[in-house]
Structure 1
Amino acid sequence: MSAVAAYVAALILVTVTDPPPTSGGAAVLAFVAAHRTVYVLRQLLWLTPAVLLMVVSLALAVALRERGRSFAAVGGLIAIASWAMSLAWPATGDGALAMVVLSDRYADAGTAAGQAPFAAGAEVLIALNDVPAVIGVLQSIGVLLIALLMRREPSAAALAWLGIATGVVGVISELLRPVLGWAYAIYGVLLFAWLIGVSGTLWRLGSGQSRWSTR
């Protein structure tokens, strides 16, 4: 639930604050300098859930291991690794923490010639935010594999089908992200719904209020 809360907070912040420019390295760096605190908070809210989702993926793989140890190992490994890799990816889709460093260096440079390399670096980060990321596709595949494993658990059938739909839509959405615009949010809604369901299920399992069926 913490991951969902962070994503919701990020969406609210995106809605109520001015968006950074989508082109022009110098313009983006100037924007970051003028909105430093909000910009950093936005990036952290997009990045923090990755750590929490690594834990969720591991918990699901362990909980479902009796439904297929090899499947659980592969699905869990892909899911955990993809969320871990997102922490190393230089862009969040909404910007990049590295923009803050570039913005400071840009301001300190003072001259147009000195500022040019930092503006060029910002252009690279802008481009990375716009391209389909392999990491995003892997995250969706991880959700899909775990959901397919959940289909073997009768008590989690509905949640499994929601996860399958989320994974399939996620792969397509990540591949077509540059052209989808706001339609990409459909994947986000499905992912939120699935994560809420998964969080509730794991909480009930952990507290002993329910258990997977036995065979």
Structure 2
Amino acid sequence: MKPIIGKLYCSSSHTVLVVRKRPHVVNGGGFVVMDCSAQRVVFKVDGCGVRGKKGELILREGDGDTLLLMRRKGGMVEALSIYKKWKGYSVDYEGSRKLIFSLKEPNSCLVNNNAIRISTRNRERDFKISGYFPDKCCSIVDSKGNEVAQVGVMKEVEELMESKDLYHVVVKPGMDQAFVFGIIAILDYIYGESTHC
């Protein structure tokens, strides 16, 4: 499978990463993604708020370098559309941006299939969300019906905590983990969780 953002973020084996939400008082909210075996920070997501803008999210590497800028398309165009649309851009060291993916969320009850859909630059690599993110029971599924990443709550954690501030994501071999967490950041915002203002 070709990487969507970069080879560096693809693994040859199943990868289990743990997501821990940050309070809104820290950089406007967001979450931290950790490698459960080494307990190191792999990604950080900054939500809007203290330093960000409403409808804008940033995915960073563990060391703080920006990987993705995700923006919600707004205004009159969105109000008249049957979809709400997000765009994800890669950001290089010079600050230039390149469109990587777009995510469409149904904005109307007129849409036959209420699934959230993701399109990449390579049209053969489209995805959709299956399940319900607020319950931390959902998957990212490719256009062939293969589950490429799964969001869930660890049973041990669920017994200790009522909230879903800590959950895990299993990413299948070859799938771009940075792309997966860009999508999860947008889902987090859509459902009014830690990245939302």
Q: TM-score, normalised by structure 2?
A: 0.25
- Normalising by the residue count of structure 1, what TM-score does the alignment of the two structures yield? 0.24
Looking at both structures, which has the greater relative contact order when contacts are Cα pairs under 8 Å and sequence separation is at least 6?
2
Give the structure with higher Rg (CA): 1
